Homo-oligomer: A and B are copies of this chain.
Amino acid sequence: MDADRCGARIVHGDKVARAKANDLMVDFVEKSTLLFKAVSDPGRLRILHALLDAEMCVCDLAAFLDATESSVSHQLRLLRSMGLVKNRRDGTVLYYRAVPVKALKGLFDAAGRFQAEP
């Protein structure tokens, strides 16, 4: 029998069928990969973590990360476009905060469970 052979693309049809049946929803894949991409940059990850504790303006964040304000602003735009930060204006300064607090903390926790691997 050939259900166990590759070559001319003949594979474990049952496993492939099951994987397809249990596959993640397209929408979930799109949103999740965007989310993971957003937090896969050291600067953005630290920004989000800091903004869970306190409201901060762009130049605070630039000082915190030791980066330029322009760079921070660009990163905040990315995070804002994904709904991961919101801001409040006070005069000329914009105070940012991280937004779905519980979900974000859950994400940090989930990442933490990978840290201690043998």
Write the residues of chain A forming the contact surface with B, with a CB cutoff of 8 angstroms.
4, 6, 9, 11-12, 15-16, 18-20, 22-24, 27-37, 39-42, 45-46, 49-50, 53-61, 63-64, 69, 83, 93, 100, 102-103, 106-115, 117
Contacts and interface: CB of A to CB of B under 8 A. Distances in A.
Copies of this polypeptide in the complex: 2
Majority DSSP secondary structure for residues of A touching B: helix
A26 B49 CA distance: 13
A56 B110 contact: no
B33 A39 contact: yes
A33 to B, nearest CB: 5
Contacts of A113: 100, 102-103, 106
Contact of A36 (B16, B31, B111): B111
